[in-house]
Amino acid sequence: AQSVTQLDSHVSVSEGTPVLLRCNYSSSYSPSLFWYVQHPNKGLQLLLKYTSAATLVKGINGFEAEFKKSETSFHLTKPSAHMSDAAEYFCVVSVWDYKLSFGAGTTVTVRA
């Protein structure tokens, strides 16, 4: 069975500073990994995905994530936070059965 651990339940950053959201996964098979964002009262939107191609993945809105197999990690970063980045972020793992396993989520607050 696969699982995901998001290491921070809440991250607070100042506008214009870097954002780091940490995610570790556990899987017996080669995983696909995703980051989704959820703004208040909105549906989940895909930010980026890792599918065994390049280990550094670029997504929408300036986000990127690096897959590190040796550390079983898939951390999400953005060089400069914007007020619109305030939202809930979910790390998700999937294997051969297409089942999506979600982390508990990280709430990002951006200070002006």
Partner 1 sequence: EAGVAQSPRYKIIEKRQSVAFWCNPISGHATLYWYQQILGQGPKLLIQFQNNGVVDDSQLPKDRFSAERLKGVDSTLKIQPAKLEDSAVYLCASSSSGQNTEAFFGQGTRLTVV
CA distance 18 to 5: 21
Shortest CB 44 distance to partner 1, Å: 4
Shortest CB 92 distance to partner 1, Å: 8
Task: Select 24 or 94, whichever has its Cβ closest to partner 1.
Answer: 94
Task: Select 14 or 45, whichever has its Cβ closest to partner 1.
Answer: 45
Task: Select 56 or 97, whichever has its Cβ closest to partner 1.
Answer: 97
CA distance 25 to 27: 7
Task: Select 86 or 100, whichever has its Cβ closest to partner 1.
Answer: 100
Q: Token digits for 82?
A: 């914007």
Residues 6+ apart with CB under 8 A from 110: 12, 13, 14, 15, 81, 82, 83, 85, 86
Which residues make up the interface to partner 1 (CB under 8 A)?
32, 34, 36, 42-46, 49, 51-52, 90, 94-105
Shortest CB 7 distance to partner 1, Å: 14
Burial label for 77, CB within 10 Å (0-12, 13-18, 19+), is middle
